[in-house]
Each structure stands twice: as structure tokens, then as C-alpha cells.
Structure 1
């Protein structure tokens, strides 16, 4: 059954290429005859859309069923407390403490020298 889908994809790509070539030919024809380009003919548009859907349908059927990535199995054995315990990222001296209602700024080096 997969060979039928592969044939559909190949025929779809050939048809898509043919519609692109036909569109280029149509533009060349319009330039040669000094006509203004307004839109592509309906048969080229229909061929391109049908070819695109054929390629999409064939590729989706060739790909098969999707499987779950088993990365979560390794995480199931790790305890919650140690899962993201990265002590190198602990920061205790940051500007968020200034938002506390009982914040008292630490004296700077210059303030300490003035007290002496």
C-alpha cells in the first residue's frame, strides 16, 4: 500500500512542476504578445492546487503513525526536589529584596568610613 502512496507523491510532484512550468510559459506568451498579465488561467490554478493536495496526502500516508518521544521516562525516576536544583544559579543579593516592606539598605563602604 505504501508503494501506491509513493506513486501518488511522485505523480503529484511531476504535476506540480508541470503547473509551474505552464505558468511560466503563460507569462512568456503574454510578454511576447504584449498583453497585460491579469491572472493565470483556471486550468493551471486547478492543476496546481490538486497536485499540492495529492502531494500532501501522499506524504502524510507514507509517514505513518506518529509515536511519542520517550524522553519523559528518564524524568520519572528523578525526585521533584532535585529535578531543577541548580545551586550555581542561586542569587540572594538582588534588587527584588528592595520590594520587601521591611527593607533596610545595607550601608556602603563610604557610609561605614564616615561612621568611623
Structure 2
């Protein structure tokens, strides 16, 4: 049964490319005949839409049964106490240090070069 769906996908893609080629050919014909473009012919639109639906239906059937993605799978192994522990957001060099009574500012790079 899967081979039938693969054939539907292939035929749908070929039909979709054919409708795109037909649309481009129709535009070039209008340009050559100096006519104004208003809309595509109805047969090209029907072919494009039906082949698009055929491709979508075939791909959904070829891909197999859809499964649910367990969003909390990796959270099942994490303990509750460490769940909000985000070490990448730790900041040790911030301005709150200047509010401490025993704060001694670290010398800048320029000051360190002058000391040498």
C-alpha cells in the first residue's frame, strides 16, 4: 500500500511542476501576443490545487503513523530541587558588589600595566 502512496506523491509532484510550467508558458504567450495578464486559466489552477492536495495526502500516508512528542521526557529525570537551577545565568561580576562595606575595586588593565 505504501508503494501506491509513493506513486501518488511522484505523480503529484510531476503534475505540480507541469502546472507551474504551464503557468509560465501562459505568461510568455500573453507577453508575446501583447495581451494583458489578468488571471491564469481555470484548468491550470485546478491542476495546481489538485496536485498540491495529492502530494500532501501522499506524503502524509508515506510518512507513517504520527506519534506524540513527549515534551517532558527529559524533565522526568531532573529532580524538583534542581529544576530551576540555571548555572548559565549566574553573574558574579555585577554592581551589587560596590554596595558591600568591604568593597575594594579591582584595578583595570591600564592600571596594571602602569604598575609594571
Tell me, yes or no, whether TM beats 0.5: yes
- Extract unaligned runs of 5+ from structure 2: 105-116
1:1-116 superposed matches below 5 A: 1-69=1-69, 72-86=72-86, 89=89
> In structure 2, how many angstroms separate the alpha carbons of the residues matched to 1:71 and 1:17?
38
Shift of residue 83, structure 1, vs aligned partner: 2.1
- Post-superposition Cα deviations, 1:81-116, rounded to whole Å, max 9, x if no partner, equal 012324564569778xxxxxxxxx87899xxxxxxx
* RMSD between aligned residues: 2.7
Q: Which runs of 4+ in 1 moved over 3 A?
A: 68-74, 86-95, 105-109
1:10-52 Cα shifts (integer Å, max 9, x gaps): 0000000110111111111111111111110000000000000
- Count of aligned positions: 99
The answer for unaligned runs of 5 or more in structure 1 is 96-104, 110-116
- Give TM-score, length-normalised by structure 2: 0.70
